[in-house]
Amino acid sequence: MSTYDHQRILSDWSNGTLTADMAIGHALQYIAELYARQKAWQNKISHLENTVNSLQTQFDPLVKGVSQELER
């Protein structure tokens, strides 16, 4: 699935070389692409959150141990 650059679409629309049907088709393609990118970003964010949570779980005992040693 491919579409023109948004500047070309706007230019073609203003020049009258782009029909309403063509504009709607391009808009739908852009919307589909945005949804795909959103899903990819959500997956990356979820992976990063899981990584941070895992690291935090490993880090907490180390902080507790160091705190206990400093109190002695």
Query: Following CA atoms 18, 20, 24, 26 in sequence, which dihedral angle do they give, to the nearest 10 degrees?
Result: 0
* Torsion sign (Cα): 26, 27, 28, 32: positive
The whole-number pLDDT of residue 14 equals: 92
| For the chain, domain boundaries | 6-71
The whole-number pLDDT of residue 68 equals: 87
Can you tell me the mean pLDDT for 28-57?
95
Q: What is the mean pLDDT of the chain?
A: 90
The whole-number pLDDT of residue 2 equals: 59
Express each pLDDT in 10-37 by its tens digit.
899 899 999 999 989 988 998 999 999 9
What phi and psi, each to the nearest 5 degrees, are found at residue 47?
-60, -45
* Contact residues for 65 (Cβ-Cβ < 8 A; gap 6+): none
The whole-number pLDDT of residue 6 equals: 82
Query: Residue 62 corresponds to which tokens in the numbers above?
Result: 């180390």
Q: Is the Cβ–Cβ distance between 26 and 9 less than 8 Å?
A: yes
